[in-house]
Structure formats: structure tokens, C-alpha cells
Amino acid sequence: MEWYVYQRGSSPIRRVTRKRNYRMKRMLWSALILLIVAGLIWCAVALSRINGAETTAPMVKADAGVILGMSMWGDEPSPGLKERLDYALELYRSGAFTHFVVSGGLDHPDNKYTEAEGMKRYLAAHGVPEDVIYLEKQSTSTYENLLFSKAVMQQEGLSSAVIITHDFHGRRALEIARELKFTNPELGVTESKVMSMFKYKTREILAYTKWKMQQLSL
């Protein structure tokens, strides 16, 4: 009679189990690497789209300039929001549109003014008649900015718009405006000299990705 002595851990069942575990780990690592590569490719695509936003040229005269809000610093627009407002004033004075729709809700519960109210005060202080400035002061996102601003425009009999924001934000804003069936929306974008583009473009890649996923469900 022959006796077989297996070393510890060398049974056929254990060898098969180890092989299966190894294959599973290799599959998981491969899937993870593919996911990372796909994510990096998408980030590059999204950044390219974000960087491609430009002011509409030539610009056709519109009924309204819709200024998308940013944070308030106390009772005053933040430096970034002032850049959007100053650019909007340039377009208004050049005759690009005749009315303003300023869009943005309460940035912080302790603030005295919503973003829209802060923008109206700024524009009025720079010579814009208050009766050509319409407020949308409920929104908390870019999608709501444009959705609620369109309702204000319809209420006031305004049909065409220039969407005013920063260049890194322009692509998403224009896509949302088109999704919401704005009538031939135009885009007015300005560069920022006061904000970190690394920070804001990184955030915009995430926001643009979220928007594309949201778009699939619309």
C-alpha cells in the first residue's frame, strides 16, 4: 500500500482556490486600470470642451442679457461675480441687449441680499435703469439659473438672450440653455483675473460630468 503525504497548503482543492483568487484579483485590477484610463480620457475630453467656449461672434442683438450668479461677499458681489457684471455692462453699452435678467438665490442664510439682488444693486450703481433689470432669485444651480430665468423672460415678453458667465463655465451653460429650448441662445464669456483656474476648471470638469449624466435622464 502506498501512502501519499501532502505538504500543508498543497492539496488540489487549495491550489484551485488559489488560482481562482489570483484570476479574480487580476480581473479586478484590470477593471480598475481600465476605469482609471477611461476616467482620464473623459477628463481630457471634458476639459477640451470647457476650454472651447467663446463669445458668440458676430453677436445678434438680443432682448436680454442673462447673468449667471456667483457668490456674494457680504452685501457686495464677490470679485468673480463683479467680473461677470462688468463684462455684462460692456455688452449692454455696446447694444448687445436691452434688458438684464440677473439670476441667483441666497448664497448664505446670513446674507442680506440674494445673488440677484446684489447684482441688481451693482448694475444700478453703474448707471443701468432699474426698470430694465429683472430678478430671478430662487435658483441654486446653473440648471435652475437658466430654467427660472427663461420663465422670467417669458413673463416679461423677452424672447432672445445672451448667456453671460466666465469662459470655463460657458460650455455647460450654453448646453443647458439649448436643452431648455432657449431661442437661439448666444454666449458672452469673460476670462477671470481673480480666480484660480486650476480650482475652478477642476470643479467644472466634475460639474460638466454631472450635467452630461443628468442630460441622459432628461
Strands, sheet with 183-190, edge to edge from the N-terminal-most edge strand = 133-136, 97-103, 62-68, 160-166, 183-190
Give 13's DSSP letter: H
The SS3 assignment for 97 reads: strand
Sequence length of the chain is 218
What per-residue confidence (pLDDT) applies to 216?
87
What per-residue confidence (pLDDT) applies to 1?
44
Distance CA(157)–CA(88), nearest Å, equals 20
What per-residue confidence (pLDDT) applies to 21?
77
Q: Single out the residue of 84, 139, 146, 135 nearest to residue 107, CA to CA.
A: 139
**Are 110 and 75 a contacting pair, CB within 8 Å?**
no
What per-residue confidence (pLDDT) applies to 6?
46
What per-residue confidence (pLDDT) applies to 10?
56
Copy the grid coordinates of residue 66: 442673462
Distance CA(218)–CA(198), nearest Å, equals 30
Which residues, given as ranges, of the chain have pLDDT below 70?
A: 1-12, 16
What per-residue confidence (pLDDT) applies to 5?
46
